[in-house]
């Protein structure tokens, strides 16, 4: 048994996800088992410090310098916490994979800025506090070989989900929807990953507008409405939906502004509009994954959208030939999955094995990711 | 023969110092020989980008994100340049030690900021472009064990300068003066390093004020003046000079403001004032090092001040029992010395050996420094 901890701190700022795993092997023979998972919320002024460092207006070099060390301390504490909870001694911990907190990401070079990505959270501090070797800064190397540094989890998704007789579609529904396709009997190089279109972003904007709610809990509002098929048709005609993968989108395409223009142009009741937006997400996912539905296929849904029962029902209806599952049904939460991914990537790096998936990131070749801080 | 490159990019922003060395062994048995050294000036808008990232006012997270990658490209190019000039193939290069560009340094925790240090210059980019393993980010680990992350070169100074029968005092004269004491037959733990007081900072401010010159070239103005001993006595009474080491100072103690108050209070002619300031630097160095002059002792002077012949003559006069040498006289320039230091630190790290000197940085223990990005 080799114990390792994977750490993830996402852009949602919910806290630090720490997954203690038992991991052996490498490459396709990697075997990984989740032992304990927890999310450690940010304490004190740390959350405010991150928010300031994320903003173009309030960030500066002094704040980033200090926050790098502060987050190193927080990440180290999360490792101590998860080991403590699992009653595993630090002496039995072989290594830590730490994603770091993303402060900025520039996927393509533009007007004086290099394609670049910035994750912070001092690896030396994590290493010292935990007396354990740390692998960190995974995305930079993928960018150095021409990739976008994202998505970073497909390699681990292959390890965790590949099945010889079943094509598996890993659909994440956050603000934006994205899918990873793992063809049955496929190799890592056969994987495809791209953004399917909107996830929860439009529904959330509408809930905020109509009901001052952050999101449509369990899909309640959508369940009370009726889909407006004329509007749905127009939505599905969006150029992004028509585009072939590989493709990426963001809130700049389907966010606040997009929702405002919908509200301006269409006089549809609140519940009906939310139902239609929900159906737009469902249908755009279904259309995006259909070309990859060959033989026995499973669609495994994770992210906040997996809790929206109306959305899940709609996706199921659109893909009758596909077995639709929720992330939790097959073992662990979406948050745990991302943290486990960091342990898998670190395991690869320590054995000088690759961790990126060029067909997903656009990199010229597969390379080991990250830097190693040995204890 | 093991070839390695050490990279340093100092706060003076003169460019990237690249030292190609032949290095073998580890710890006290390290043997290092300089093969080729060059300074690669920053090109295009890089210098401006660094200046903006250094400033509290103009820095932001996007600029730092992009500059990290940009500097990675510049550092990689410096490696290619020095290997090219030495006609050494990248295939024969074993590793690179990269200091990175310091953007900020907070030696002590203060009002909401953690003790921290920030060096950038993407190691993954250097690694990919040079097809060589990179060790980087040396200072963070020393801070993680309670050190100030500075000075970072004493370990390499021991390797490069230790002599069984001679105490060697390595005096650097930049804006501020600092010394590293290597006692004869001493071990690394016996080393002491501290700031002696002003280096060139007061002389430079006076040259700018009186003659619109950046500095006193070769000590010309000082050589034309006479020391005002009454003023000198007052200068030597400065509390910093009286303080026992370990101690650090900066431009905030002896910079623009200090010089302005001198000019206000004392009506001494330009050359005489510059001569007195030069003598202040000489005498403060002499007084600081005297307690360490035991038996055969050499004072080896580096930094910009080593070119000020009047200053050197004054130091020699103050320390008649010490053999005073200029850095270049014993093999290589001050810039080369710092770059070589990075190759020595990287060599230590790759062999899991320590690189900091706790008696110099204040760290609780000696640790390997930096993170490794394997090619």
CATH code (residue A248):
3.30.420.40
Arithmetic mean of pLDDT, A318-322: 97
**Full 3-state SS string of A137-163:** CCHHHHHHCCCCCCCCCHHHHHHHHCE
CA distance A138 to chain B (A): 9
Q: What angle do the packed helices B256-265 and B270-289 form, to 10 degrees?
A: 120
Q: In this structure, are B111 and B193 located in the same domain? A: no
Question: Which of residues 57 through 76 in chain B touch A, CB cutoff 8 A?
Answer: 57, 59-62, 64-70, 72-73
Question: Is A126 part of any known ligand binding site?
Answer: no
- For residue A186, what pLDDT is reported? 81
How far is Cα A6 from Cα A21, in angstroms, rounded to an integer? 8
Nearest to B99 by CA among B366, B355, B301, B352: B355
Q: Which residue has the tokens 């999310």?
A: A39
Q: How many CB atoms lie within 10 A of CB A279?
A: 26
Asked whether the beta carbons of A373 and B371 are under 8 A apart, the reply is: yes
* Mean pLDDT computed over every residue of chain A: 95
With CA atoms as reference, the chain B residue closest to A113 would be B66
Sheet holding A297-302, edge to edge: A192-198, A176-182, A167-173, A297-302, A323-326
**Residue A245 pLDDT:** 87
CB of A224 closer than 8 Å to CB of A271: yes
Q: Is A12 a residue whose pLDDT tops 80?
A: no
Quote the CA–CA distance of B167 and B323 in Å, as a whole number. Answer: 10
Q: Are residues B126 and B158 in the same domain?
A: no
Q: What is the DSSP string of B272-333?
A: HHHHHHHHHHHHHHHHHHGGG--SSEEEEEESGGGG-HHHHHHHHHH-TTSEEEEGGGGTS-
Residue A214 φ/ψ, nearest 5 degrees: -65, -35
Interface predicted TM-score of the whole assembly (ipTM), two decimals:
0.91
Tens digit of each residue's pLDDT (9 = 90 or more) over A238-253: 999 999 988 888 888 8
A255 is in an annotated binding site: no
Which residues does chain B have within 8 Å of residue A117's beta carbon, measured at their own beta carbons?
Answer: 65
pLDDT, mean of residues A25-43: 96
Which of A115, A122, A371 has its CB closest to that of B373?
A371
Count of Cβ atoms closer than 10 Å to residue B56 Cβ: 10
Q: Name the residue facing A106 among B45, B59, B66 (closest C-beta).
A: B66
- A368 touching chain B per CB within 8 A: yes
Distance from C-alpha of B357 to C-alpha of B371, rounded to nearest angstrom: 18
Domain count, chain B: 2
At residue A115 the predicted structure's pLDDT band, cuts being 50, 70 and 90, is very high
Q: How large is the average pLDDT for residues A215-231?
A: 97
Q: Using an 8 Å Cβ cutoff, are A201 and A254 in contact?
A: yes
Residue A117: beta bridge partners? Answer: A105
Q: If 0-12 CB within 10 Å is exposed, 13-18 middle and 19+ buried, where does residue B242 land?
A: exposed
Q: Identify the weakest region by mean pLDDT among A34-43, A125-134, A159-168, A251-260.
A: A251-260
Task: Flag if B65 and A124 touch (Cβ within 8 Å).
Answer: no
Q: How high is the pLDDT of residue A332?
A: 85
Nearest residue of B to residue A76 by CA position?
Answer: B144
- Positive or negative, the CA dihedral B358, B362, B363, B368 is negative
| CA distance linking residue B78 with residue B45, whole number of Å | 17
A122 in contact with B, Cβ within 8 Å:
yes
DSSP string, A189-238: GG-EEEEEEESSHHHHHHHHHHH--SS-GGGHHHHHS---HHHHHHHHT-
> In this structure, are A119 and A161 located in the same domain?
no
A156 pLDDT tier (thresholds 50, 70, 90)? very high
Q: Which of B118, B129, B150 would best serve as a mutation to test chain A binding (most A beta carbons within 10 A)? A: B118
Q: For the segment A285-309, what is each residue's pLDDT rounded down to a tens digit?
A: 999 999 999 999 999 999 999 999 9
Mind listing the pLDDT tens digit for each residue in B161-204? 999 899 999 999 999 999 999 998 888 989 999 999 999 999 99
CB contact under 8 A, A143 and B124: yes
The whole domain housing B43 covers 3-150+337-373
* pLDDT tens-digit map of B210-235: 999 999 999 999 999 999 999 999 99
Give the gyration radius of chain A's Cα atoms: 21
Whether residues B238 and B290 share a domain: the answer is yes
Looking at the complex, report in whole angstroms how far the Cα of residue A145 sits from the nearest Cα belonging to chain B.
Answer: 7
The pLDDT assigned to B250 comes to 83
Residue B275 and residue B255 share a domain: yes
Average of per-residue pLDDT across A19-48: 96
Distance CA(A172)–CA(A302), nearest Å, equals 5
**Averaged over B259-287, what is the pLDDT?**
97
What's the pLDDT band for A326 if we cut at 50, 70, 90? very high
For residue B79, what pLDDT is reported? 98
Q: A117, B65: Cβ pair inside 8 Å?
A: yes
* pLDDT above 90 (res B251): no
Q: How confident is the model at residue B57 (pLDDT cuts 50, 70, 90)?
A: very high
Burial of A313: CB neighbours in 10 Å, binned 0-12, 13-18, 19+: middle
Residue B196 and residue B160 in one domain: yes
pLDDT at A11: 78
Measured over all CA atoms, what is the biggest interatomic distance in chain A, rounded to whole angstroms? 63
Residues B325 and B179 in one domain: yes
B326 in contact with chain A, both atoms CB, cutoff 8 A: no
Residue among B104, B123, B368 whose CB faces A62 most closely: B104
Local structure of A56: helix, strand or coil: coil
In degrees rounded to 5, what are phi and psi of residue B98?
-120, 120
Residue A79, token pair as written in the block: 């490792």
Provide the β-strand partners of residue A193: A180
Residue B272 is assigned to a ligand binding site: no
Residues 136-155 of A with CB under 8 A from B: 136-137, 140-141, 143-145
Higher pLDDT, B246 or A154: A154
pLDDT at B1: 83
Residues of B with Cβ-Cβ distance to A368 under 8 angstroms: 374
Closest CA–CA distance from residue B198 to any residue of chain A (Å): 26
Q: How many CB atoms within 10 Å of residue B133?
A: 19
Half-sphere exposure of B318 (CA within 13 A, CB side): 20
Mean local confidence (pLDDT), B133-153: 96
What percent of chain A shows pLDDT beyond 90? Answer: 89
Q: Are B90 and B198 in the same domain?
A: no
Distance of alpha carbon A235 from alpha carbon A68, whole angstroms? 42
Task: Identify whether residues A35 and A168 lie together within a single domain.
Answer: no
> Which residue of chain A has the CA closest to B107?
A66
Q: Are strands B192-198 and B167-173 parallel, antiparallel or unpaired?
A: unpaired
Q: Look at B106 and A68 and tell me if their CB atoms are within 8 Å.
A: no
Kindly tell me the sign of the dihedral angle through the C-alpha atoms of A84, A87, A88, A89. positive
Share the mean pLDDT of chain B. Answer: 95
Q: Is B216 annotated as a binding residue?
A: no
- pLDDT for B12 equals 77
Write out pLDDT tens, residues A173-198: 999 999 999 998 888 989 999 999 99
Residues B139 and B160 in one domain: no
Q: Which of B64, B69, B140 sits opposite A64 (nearest CB)?
A: B64
Q: B86 falls in which pLDDT band (50, 70, 90)?
A: very high
Contact A124 B141 (CB under 8 A): yes
Nearest to B128 among A57, A67, A145 (CB): A145
Other Cβ atoms closer than 10 A to B109: 12
The confidence score (pLDDT) of residue A246 equals 81
In percent, how much of chain B has pLDDT > 70? 100
Residue A12 is assigned to a ligand binding site? yes
pLDDT in tens, B274-306: 999 999 999 999 999 999 999 999 999 999 999
B54 is in an annotated binding site: no
Q: Within 10 Å of residue B241's Cβ, how many Cβ atoms?
A: 18
- Residue A129 sits in the same domain as residue A248: no
pLDDT tier, A333 (very low <50, low <70, confident <90, very high otherwise): confident
Give residues 160 to 179 of B whose Cβ lies within 8 Å of A: none
Measured CA to CA, the distance from residue A344 to residue A339 in angstroms comes to 9
| Dist CA B318 CA B312 (whole Å) | 10
Residues with Cβ within 8 Å of residue A187, at least 6 apart in sequence: none
Shared domain check, B78 and B188: no
Going A118 to B116 to B284 to B241, the CA torsion angle's sign is positive
Most A-contacting residue of B48, B53, B64, B133 (CB-CB within 10 A), to test interface: B64
**B126-136, pLDDT tens digit by residue?**
999 999 999 99
* Residues of chain A contacting residue B127, judged by C-beta atoms under 8 Å apart: 141, 144
Task: Please report, for residues A67, A184, B186, B206, the alpha-carbon distance to residue B214 in angstroms, rounded to integers and kept in the order given.
Answer: 36, 70, 39, 9
Residue from the list A103, A352, A373 with its beta carbon closest to the beta carbon of B371: A373
Contact A62 B106 (CB under 8 A): yes
pTM for the model stands at 0.91
List pLDDT tens digits, range B311-369.
999 999 999 999 999 998 988 888 899 999 999 999 999 999 999 999 999 999 999 99
Closest CA to A17 of A38, A35, A48: A38
Choose from B11, B76, B116, B134 for mutation: most chain A CBs within 10 A: B116
Band (A229; pLDDT cuts 50, 70, 90): very high
Distance CA B71, CA B124 (A): 11
The distance of B367 to chain A (nearest Cα, Å) reads 9
Q: Per DSSP, what are the bridge partners of residue B104? A: B118
User: A-B interface: how many C-beta pairs under 8 angstroms?
Assistant: 159
Contact A373 B374 (CB under 8 A): no
């Amino acid at each position: 048994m080799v114990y390792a901890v994977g750490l993830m701190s996402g852009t949602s700022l919910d806290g630090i996800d720490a997954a203690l795993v038992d991991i052996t092997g490498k490459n396709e023979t990697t075997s990984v088992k989740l032992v304990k998972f927890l999310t450690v919320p940010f304490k004190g002024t740390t959350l405010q410090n991150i928010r300031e460092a994320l903003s173009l207006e309030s960030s500066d070099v002094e704040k980033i310098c200090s926050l790098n060390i502060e987050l190193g301390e927080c990440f180290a504490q999360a490792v101590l916490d998860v080991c403590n909870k699992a009653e595993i001694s630090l002496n039995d911990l072989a290594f830590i994979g730490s994603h770091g907190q993303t402060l900025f990401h520039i996927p393509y070079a533009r007007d004086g800025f290099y394609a670049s990505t910035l994750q912070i959270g001092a690896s030396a501090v994590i290493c010292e506090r935990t007396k354990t070797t740390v692998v960190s800064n995974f995305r930079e190397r993928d960018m150095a070989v021409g990739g976008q540094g994202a998505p970073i989890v497909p390699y681990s998704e292959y390890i965790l989900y590949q099945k010889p007789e079943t094509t598996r579609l890993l659909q994440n529904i956050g603000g934006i929807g994205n899918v990873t396709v793992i063809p049955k009997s496929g190799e890592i190089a056969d994987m495809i990953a791209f953004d399917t279109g909107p996830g929860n972003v439009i529904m959330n904007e509408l809930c905020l507008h109509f009901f001052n709610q952050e999101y449509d809990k369990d899909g309640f509002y959508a369940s009370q409405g009726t889909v407006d098929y004329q509007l749905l048709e127009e939505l599905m005609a969006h150029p992004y939906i028509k585009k072939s993968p590989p493709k990426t989108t963001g809130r700049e395409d389907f966010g606040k502004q997009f929702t405002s223009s919908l509200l301006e142009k269409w006089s549809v009741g609140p519940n009906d509009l939310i139902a239609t937006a929900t159906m737009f997400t469902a249908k755009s996912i279904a259309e995006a994954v259909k070309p990859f539905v060959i033989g026995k296929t499973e669609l495994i849904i994770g992210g906040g959208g997996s809790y929206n029962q109306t959305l899940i029902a709609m996706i199921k209806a659109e893909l009758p030939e596909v077995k639709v599952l929720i992330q939790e049904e097959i073992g662990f939460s979406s948050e745990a999955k991302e943290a486990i991914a960091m342990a898998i990537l670190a395991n690869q790096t320590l054995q000088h094995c690759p961790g990126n998936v060029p067909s997903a990131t656009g990199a010229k070749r597969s390379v080991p990711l990250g830097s190693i801080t040995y204890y």
